[in-house]
Amino acid sequence: MSQKKYETPLLDELEKGPFPSFVTEIKTAAAKNDSANDLLGVLEQCYRERRTHWKHGGIVGVRGYGGGVIGRYSDVPNEYPGVAHFHTVRINQTSGFFYTSKALNDICDIWDKYGSGLTNLHGSTGDLVLLGTKTDALEAIFAETSSRGWDLGGSGSAMRTPSCCVGPGRCEWSMIDTLDITYALTQEFQDELHRPAFPYKFKIKTAGCGVDCIASVARADLSLIGTWKGDIQIDQAEVKNYAAKGMNIQGEIIDMCPTGCMSLNGGEIAIDNSNCSRCMHCIAKMTKALRPGKEHGATIMVGSKAPFVIGALLSHVIVPFMPLEPPYDNLKDLIRKMWEWWDEHGKNRERIGELIVRRGMREFLEFLELDPIPQMVFEPRRDPFYFWTEDELNK
Amino acid sequence: MSQKKYETPLLDELEKGPFPSFVTEIKTAAAKNDSANDLLGVLEQCYRERRTHWKHGGIVGVRGYGGGVIGRYSDVPNEYPGVAHFHTVRINQTSGFFYTSKALNDICDIWDKYGSGLTNLHGSTGDLVLLGTKTDALEAIFAETSSRGWDLGGSGSAMRTPSCCVGPGRCEWSMIDTLDITYALTQEFQDELHRPAFPYKFKIKTAGCGVDCIASVARADLSLIGTWKGDIQIDQAEVKNYAAKGMNIQGEIIDMCPTGCMSLNGGEIAIDNSNCSRCMHCIAKMTKALRPGKEHGATIMVGSKAPFVIGALLSHVIVPFMPLEPPYDNLKDLIRKMWEWWDEHGKNRERIGELIVRRGMREFLEFLELDPIPQMVFEPRRDPFYFWTEDELNK
Amino acid sequence: MADLPQRQTDIGPPHYMQFLPPVAQKNYGQWKYHEQLSGGSMVHVAESGDKLWTVRAASPRLISTDFIRGLTALADKYCGGHLRFTTRHNVEFLVSDESNLKPLMDELKQKNYMVGGIGDGISNIVHTQGWVHCHSAATDASGLVKVLMDEFADYFTGTKTLPARVRFAVACCTNMCGAVHCSDIAVVGIHRKPPTIVHEDVKRACEVPSTIGSCPTGAISPDPANKSVKIKEEKCMYCGNCYSVCPAMPISDPDNDGVAIVAGGKIGSLRSNPKFSKLVIPYLPNNTPKWPEVVAAFRTILTAYENGARKHERLGEWIDRVGWEKFFSLTGLPFTHQHIDDFTIARETYRTSAAFKW
Amino acid sequence: MADLPQRQTDIGPPHYMQFLPPVAQKNYGQWKYHEQLSGGSMVHVAESGDKLWTVRAASPRLISTDFIRGLTALADKYCGGHLRFTTRHNVEFLVSDESNLKPLMDELKQKNYMVGGIGDGISNIVHTQGWVHCHSAATDASGLVKVLMDEFADYFTGTKTLPARVRFAVACCTNMCGAVHCSDIAVVGIHRKPPTIVHEDVKRACEVPSTIGSCPTGAISPDPANKSVKIKEEKCMYCGNCYSVCPAMPISDPDNDGVAIVAGGKIGSLRSNPKFSKLVIPYLPNNTPKWPEVVAAFRTILTAYENGARKHERLGEWIDRVGWEKFFSLTGLPFTHQHIDDFTIARETYRTSAAFKW
Ligand code: SRM
Ligand code: SRM
Ligand code: SRM
Ligand code: SRM
Ligand code: SF4
Ligand code: SF4
Ligand code: SF4
Ligand code: SF4
Ligand code: SF4
Ligand code: SF4
Ligand code: SF4
Ligand code: SF4
């Protein structure tokens, strides 16, 4: 390998300082890989010119799949032939991002052989992203990875790779089996994941509780968030321990409870559970003393996304409480129905959240056969403009 | 006078009960007036049929004026000839709705002579409403009232009759002279009031303080609300008096202060004025102990209105603090500029608040030569979509 | 009409100062504090120590000249002829001489005036014309005001009080001349069927572009064949704005017209920002003459508020504190598709949080 | 490629259970509580009493296979080969045997890994591709992450703590792949000039209706003469969405591209509902390689927060408590026309209250 040697004075600045350096990483890969080396070169140019040097991706992929690979081409291919093609391969990560050394090493071996040696662990949708390869290596990469039990993630107008928080794998608050739900949905909807046939992308993120460590409420068309019914479990001895260790329970917990449903009497916490909104604050800050109630399920929310075209959206409640046990048929049915409605009415590049805003919640809820309940809204409408059906008038 | 005698079994029900009855009032007027008598008849029919029997008003009025009279015709004129025409005359009320017996008696005399003898004190814009007369009586009514010093109020696409709270006439919190401002603006803009030439109506309401007893923030295209700069004046002796009389100052005042800027120490109130939002709660509830700061002026807000066409609007801040002293030229200039912008860009039947929403606040502020400040918004925009001018780019 | 006096134009209203009682002229803008004396009386004290007593009484607003003369006679007798009206249509007798206070109140009582409206209770109702005078009315206003004020009379007179002021309003159509949109509890007249189009009249009486522009949902489009307009019925939510603009599109339908109840609005900036009222009951019938369903609904809401709110907490503040989901469970009012906004800012009302109450 | 193994399709990812450390398999869903041990370590305790220690270290996310092999070597040595990544790109070593904890941490330190990210401080930055891989980028992401994390390293390692978690994000264009819209403080790449239209390419490469539909402000219309589109420049706010849909409309312009800073968002439902981030600085230049203006802006915001917030109060909660007007005065950041919303829900942001702070 006789490589072009790039001077990278600007990028070199980014090797200083305590935080691990991506420049160092590129250089590490560059030492054994031409593509990575040319990436270094073109990136220095980008830093110099303060602009990108990539072109729109063409459609590339593996046989039988419509997604999983992001095609990417340089607009200066002659100067940097190693990145003339520089596609990324999205490998469907494991639920909760758990790995073994062996599994990761396997992937590294494949990637050193067929790719740039650079990766993203992980993409912000959750995929294990292999960053930079050429069109003719794609089939090989797929054969190597899939034969070892890995599959591609999503891209394009498809279900995107579902992801979740660590959940029951290591967290005391997980009220749903985030890892298993994510696995089960991914398996169930393989076709929807690999063969784009939707109006636009559809993301699913599952959080074990309202703390939402996977940012489900903000970044998923379908947000599943674990929650409970029943009273918060209180261990008063531990409450006293927290106080003994110096916690200002009144100030940090009682006064910060958003519903004002807590009180502290003689060092014991009392909760008016009927007014608790299950926000998780008290539980998170007093994990030894307070635990969620015993009946577990999920709040189902839909529609969050980035700003295009009508402004960023957060997901909103459509089912306040759904018990979620394998095989999750209730959830799968609901998802299928959502898709059916979206498929029918969604315009090209219209996310489901935007469609709900455009056509109103009523039609969506009626299609899903969900009754309207106040938990679906922060507040009722203000302007007295609304529709009646013939049915409603006649009764 | 030989009147038709109407049976009004439904309306009669509304003469029972402690609250003074409008039916009794109609009957009182009906005893001496055919129009009022026919109103009774047609109203009973409305109650029976559960629908209105009025038609769209045609344009009627007095010479030289384009407004001040609401034309109204019955859709059953043959049955109720007394209300075949049944126009209302809007008399511009006095500032703060202060009257003397003599003034009101004069009006009653005129109205008994030329109208139905029925009135509204007052219309919800504020006018003294004379309810029900015929087209050919209008000039006479106008001559009689105007010669006694009264003028008509507004209607149509004009400035509407300004109104205000009782203000300095009887209220300890008024920080602007609501009565005088209202009088001065009404006088200044007589032409705009009487000769509709705007895209739509324009209402002005002036409240002496944020308590807003005239509902200015909700019902006026231009809302003037008195406020202060400087520290809230505290009379600690009176604070102690309130406590002595049993007021729970901590619960009712300190804990209800929306900014949390108050505290109670040894029975004395302390206020971090830099964090006070001047909401008026503490002052209103402890009028003897707390008084607004000493520098007075008004917050100028624009745009409130009823729901058509884009949904109800509240007025929003455009000038956080404007000193208001006679002759109020600063305010008059601002109003004229607003109108100029609205005249230029407003569509037919588009209120100024709707126009601001449609074209964005920037253009409006720039036209008024007002700098943007955070007090104009609850929060900055969320989506990073915004405009730059060439100027801004080049600097 | 030769004997008419000389008309004057553009003179504006008479100057306010002449109507103020002398004590108010003297102490203009120099008030120090006030004290509530009863459900219908209060005293304002000036820096100078001077005092002005106010006695407030209910008026149905739609009043005869005789009613006014009754008021002025009392004002002459006890107030040197000085009286005013409030922004909620009550009348206020302005008493400068304390010795007139009790006699005035006694006479008011004896003559069956309803004295009250001051302090934390229910004052008079801001309202509109209804069937008395408006072509647009989907309900009557005066009748609704009467039955509501009768029902809640005790809260007007001060016999009963509430945690804070509760402001009612009535508007007879969605033009909302009665400022319903920021009231604690309010009624607004609504239709529930699309307008009919009388094509011949459209041609004659209506301007097509402004008729089209009047429709909040864009349901109206030109109908060139008829030189008229047409309505996409599934987009019409019966607001009646087209009828406001074009008389040839009548929308009234007695069997489907009625009222909606909204609640939780406020105007002042005290404690919390001004708030819009929100829909709580999408439809109740025009059950004339007494609208019992409406009265019952107000009672339900008021009772829940009375039981739940803290002192000084307005109805909307109480609801915001406990949450709308709790409001519906506490009142037992049904929640329907109509409650979920689908108009211009709908998405801001969707519950984008997993934190809510069961 | 004859020697390739047999491909499989639609198998999905491997089952998660095999990757969990045995103690996590055994105590799956049976965790009782956790304790933070240092800025980069914590222990989770199961109902059974079993424990699982976690040591967290920073990763730049854009990493070489060698970096990964470095991690797996450590995992093999101390964790029975078990490790995971977090939703913020950190790596977590899952230690089942307490005696491995200190040696692991020592070795990490010795090898210059940056251990931390746990608790009330600043964790790693959710971010995107930037100039490393995306055609759409108005800025780079990895470089911004690097300079910000260097600047605030002490808040990552736990040397310094904050009243609550502060979450950063970076997105290199308004597509916002880095979930900027609900972050405590975040950077988003922006353009400031309209795209240019390469008509020949539009014809060839773009679908006209979806290009028109992509424009949030409706600035694009058909240009039939050119079989292309045209832009009403005064309606264009340079979002670049048309360029996402149609490569023939390049928008990049080094002298005017740059970044905006947004702040005050949050995701969890604790205490307050999830919140959108709001614009705090409309434009800072791409001053490569170190974006000093961006770093300084973050410092300014963070310092104001640190000085003003109560314990457990997130940045957006602090701002909501003191008010945005106070935020601008405390930080000294200028307020401009760009801050005032004029997009879809603009009117909901207008201050419809006379209660605000000077
Ligand atoms: C790789 C990744 C960023 C990263 O560095 O992590 C990414 C990269 C791209 N995103 Fe993204 N998005 C990625 C996560 C996101 C997220 C975050 C998330 O999923 O949680 C969002 C915001 C949430 C959302 O979906 O709304 C996101 C919102 C977008 C959008 C805006 C979509 C919208 O409805 O507004 C686009 C534009 C588009 O679809 O054309 C987009 C488009 C793109 C494209 C395909 C560029 C394009 O216009 O064609 C980028 C390819 C870059 C490249 O060359 O590799 N990307 N994108 C993330 C996917 C990696 C993975 O699979 O794990
Ligand atoms: C008389 C009065 C109601 C009352 O009983 O008090 C009234 C009566 C009418 N209003 Fe009003 N409005 C009256 C105060 C209001 C208010 C309240 C206020 O001014 O504080 C509002 C809400 C605030 C606002 O302006 O937005 C109000 C909002 C409307 C609207 C809706 C305007 C809009 O922009 O959405 C219309 C429709 C129109 O202009 O065509 C309207 C139209 C009408 C018309 C002229 C009916 C029409 O469509 O042509 C009504 C004539 C009734 C009649 O025959 O007498 N009226 N109208 C009030 C005026 C009396 C006075 O001069 O003092
Ligand atoms: C007379 C009147 C002004 C006028 O120019 O006519 C008036 C007069 C006073 N108001 Fe008012 N308010 C008057 C309409 C209003 C309105 C407007 C409305 O109701 O449409 C409001 C806004 C209501 C809202 O926010 O929705 C209003 C909200 C208040 C408040 C705030 C209550 C609260 O805590 O939210 C106060 C302060 C208080 O009582 O603590 C107040 C206090 C007062 C004081 C005590 C002011 C003073 O020191 O003189 C006056 C006597 C109080 C009383 O009636 O108990 N006044 N007051 C109006 C009487 C209407 C009536 O007949 O009932
Ligand atoms: C490992 C991880 C989940 C995963 O599946 O990867 C995780 C793990 C934990 N989170 Fe988290 N959170 C993780 C991302 C998040 C996110 C998502 C994000 O940052 O994009 C959030 C939402 C942030 C937001 O609201 O904007 C998040 C908000 C929290 C909170 C709420 C903080 C608050 O008061 O607002 C807690 C509760 C607490 O600490 O009191 C929490 C608590 C926890 C606990 C204590 C839960 C537990 O008992 O195990 C875990 C260790 C805490 C720690 O890191 O200090 N975690 N946590 C993620 C680590 C990311 C990282 O490397 O830094
Ligand atoms: S979202 Fe809840 S269950 Fe999941 S890791 Fe975070 S705190 Fe634990
Ligand atoms: S979960 Fe939230 S609302 Fe419920 S008691 Fe705890 S702090 Fe209060
Ligand atoms: S608005 Fe203020 S100044 Fe005017 S009457 Fe009400 S309390 Fe007094
Ligand atoms: S006016 Fe309002 S914000 Fe100011 S101190 Fe009084 S209660 Fe607090
Ligand atoms: S609310 Fe409607 S019906 Fe009532 S007076 Fe106003 S315009 Fe007429
Ligand atoms: S009633 Fe309202 S929604 Fe229906 S067509 Fe007329 S304006 Fe449009
Ligand atoms: S944010 Fe924009 S530039 Fe960055 S990766 Fe996503 S699409 Fe590309
Ligand atoms: S950059 Fe954005 S606003 Fe400008 S034309 Fe393209 S899509 Fe429209």
3-state secondary structure of B264: strand
**Cα separation, B93 vs B90, whole angstroms:** 9
- CA angle A133–A137–A139, rounded 5-degree value: 125
Confidence of residue D302 (pLDDT cuts 50, 70, 90): very high
Query: How far C275 CA sits from the closest chain D CA (Å)?
Result: 9
pLDDT at D135 over 70: yes
Alpha-carbon radius of gyration of chain C? 24
Name residues of chain C where pLDDT drops below 70: 1-2
Tell me, in angstroms, the distance from the centre of ligand 4 to residue A213's CA: 5
Q: Which chains have at least 3 CB atom pairs separated by less than 8 Å from chain D? A: A, B, C
Q: Which residue in D239, D259, D57, D282 sits closest to D141, CA to CA?
A: D259
pLDDT digits (tens, 9 = 90+) for A224-283: 999 999 999 999 999 999 999 999 999 999 999 999 999 999 999 999 999 999 999 999
Question: What's the length of chain D?
Answer: 358
Atom of ligand 4 nearest to the CA of D182: 26
Q: Determine if the peptide bond prior to D23 is cis (ω within 30°).
A: no
Which pLDDT belongs to residue B3?
Answer: 77
Contact criterion met (CB < 8 Å) for B385 and A312:
no
Contact criterion met (CB < 8 Å) for C342 and A386:
yes
Q: Do A355 and A198 form a contact (C-beta atoms < 8 A)?
A: no
Tell me, using a 6 A CB cutoff, whether residue A207 lines ligand 5.
yes
Q: Is C186 exposed, middle or buried (0-12, 13-18, 19+ CB in 10 A)?
A: buried
Task: Tell me what the pLDDT averaged over chain D comes to.
Answer: 97
Q: Rounded to a whole number, what is the largest CA-CA distance in chain D?
A: 76
Calculate mean pLDDT across residues D326-336.
98
**Alpha-carbon distance values, A20 to A25, B96, C191, D92, D250 (Å):** 9, 71, 66, 15, 33
B210 CB neighbours in chain D (<8 A) are: 354-355
Task: Tell me what the pLDDT averaged over chain A comes to.
Answer: 97
Secondary-structure percent of chain A, ordered helix, strand, coil, rounded to 5: 40, 20, 45
Which pLDDT belongs to residue B394?
Answer: 73
User: Residue A307: closest CA among chain B residues belongs to which residue?
Assistant: B383
Phi, psi values for residue D33, rounded to 5°:
-160, 175
Phi, psi values for residue B167, rounded to 5°:
50, -140
pTM: 0.98
Nearest CA to ligand 12 atom 6: D242
- CA angle B334–B337–B343, rounded 5-degree value: 140
Tell me, using a 6 A CB cutoff, whether residue C134 lines ligand 9.
yes
Which pLDDT belongs to residue C136?
Answer: 95
Which pLDDT belongs to residue A57?
Answer: 81
pLDDT at D1 over 90: no
Calculate mean pLDDT across residues A84-111.
98
DSSP code for B296: E
Which pLDDT belongs to residue B1?
Answer: 53
Confidence of residue A82 (pLDDT cuts 50, 70, 90): very high
Contact criterion met (CB < 8 Å) for A311 and B384:
no
Task: Give the strand pairing for C258-263 and C278-285.
Answer: antiparallel
- Beta strands of A64-164 (E only): which ranges? 69-70, 73-74, 87-91, 98-100, 118-121, 128-133, 163-164
DSSP B351-379: -HHHHHHHH-HHHHHHHTT----GGGBSS
Q: Do A160 and A203 form a contact (C-beta atoms < 8 A)?
A: yes
Tell me, using a 6 A CB cutoff, whether residue C90 lines ligand 3.
yes
pLDDT digits (tens, 9 = 90+) for B65-108: 999 999 999 999 999 999 999 999 999 999 999 999 999 999 99
**Cα separation, B44 vs B238, whole angstroms:** 56
Tokens of A379: 């507040």
Contact residues for B325 (Cβ-Cβ < 8 A; gap 6+): none
How many CA within 13 A on the CB side of residue B48?
A: 11
User: Residue C344: closest CA among chain D residues belongs to which residue?
Assistant: D345
B299 CB neighbours in chain D (<8 A) are: 354
Q: Do A40 and A6 form a contact (C-beta atoms < 8 A)?
A: yes
Which pLDDT belongs to residue B358?
Answer: 97
Query: How far C302 CA sits from the closest chain A CA (Å)?
Result: 18
Beta pairing partners, D56 = D92
Atom of ligand 1 nearest to the CA of A155: 62
Name residues of chain B where pLDDT drops below 70: 1-2, 395
**Cα separation, A374 vs A379, whole angstroms:** 8
DSSP B163-199: EE-SGGGT-TT--S-HHHHHHHHHHHTHHHHHS--SS
Q: Which of C238, C260, C350 sits opposite A377 (nearest CB)?
A: C350
Which pLDDT belongs to residue B59?
Answer: 87
Which pLDDT belongs to residue D3?
Answer: 86
Q: Which residue has the tokens 């739940």?
A: C308
Q: Which of D327, D347, D354 sits opposite B301 (nearest CB)?
A: D354
Tell me, in angstroms, the distance from the centre of ligand 11 to residue A98's CA: 26
**Cα separation, C277 vs C261, whole angstroms:** 9
Dihedral class, residue C183 (left if φ above 0, else alpha if ψ from -120 to 50, else beta):
beta
Quick one: which ligand is closest to B280's CA? 8
**Residue to probe by mutation, ligand 12, list D173, D237, D245, D252, most atoms within 8 Å of CB:** D237
Q: Which residue in C150, C163, C170, C140 sits closest to C302, CA to CA?
A: C163
Q: Which chains have at least 3 CB atom pairs separated by less than 8 Å from chain A? A: B, C, D
Beta pairing partners, B322 = B298
Q: Do B163 and B93 form a contact (C-beta atoms < 8 A)?
A: yes
DSSP code for D258: E
**Cα separation, D171 vs D127, whole angstroms:** 6
Q: Which residue in D183, D176, D165, D190 sits closest to D129, CA to CA?
A: D176
User: Residue B228: closest CA among chain D residues belongs to which residue?
Assistant: D358
Q: Which helix (H) or strand (E) holds A242?
A: helix A236-244
Tokens of C223: 């109908």
Q: Does C209 touch chain D (CB under 8 A)?
A: no
Tell me, in angstroms, the distance from the centre of ligand 6 to residue B107's CA: 62
C347 CB neighbours in chain D (<8 A) are: 345
Contact residues for A375 (Cβ-Cβ < 8 A; gap 6+): A317, A320, C325, C351, C356, C357
3-state secondary structure of A11: helix
**Cα separation, A184 vs B97, whole angstroms:** 71
Q: Do A22 and D128 form a contact (C-beta atoms < 8 A)?
A: no
User: Residue C121 CA to chain centroid, in angstroms?
Assistant: 15
Calculate mean pLDDT across residues D275-290.
98
Please state the three-class secondary structure of chain C as a single string.
Answer: CCCCCCCCCCCCCCCHHHHCCHHHHHCCCCEEEEEEEECCEEEEEECCCCEEEEEEECCCCEEEHHHHHHHHHHHHHHCCCEEEECCCCCEEEEECCHHHHHHHHHHHHHCCCCECCCCCCECCCECCCHHHCCCCCCCCCHHHHHHHHHHCHHHHHCCCCCCCCECEEEECCCCCCCCHHHCCEEEEEECCCCCCCCHHHHHHHCCHHHHHHCCCCCCEEEEHHHCEEEECHHHCCCCCHHHHHCCCCCCCCCCCCEEEEEECCECCCCCCCCECCEEEEEEEECCCCCCHHHHHHHHHHHHHHHHHCCCCCCHHHHHHHHCHHHHHHHHCCCCCHHHCCCCCCHHHHECCCCCCCC
Calculate mean pLDDT across residues A163-179.
98
Which pLDDT belongs to residue A395?
Answer: 59
**Alpha-carbon distance values, B18 to C100, C153, C157, D177 (Å):** 25, 7, 10, 66
Q: Do B157 and B196 form a contact (C-beta atoms < 8 A)?
A: yes
**Alpha-carbon distance values, D141 to C71, D243, D295, D311 (Å):** 76, 19, 13, 31
Tell me, using a 6 A CB cutoff, whether residue C236 lines ligand 10.
yes
Question: What's the length of chain C?
Answer: 358
The 10 Å Cβ neighbour count of residue A261 is: 19
**Cα separation, C24 vs C50, whole angstroms:** 9
Atom of ligand 11 nearest to the CA of D136: 3
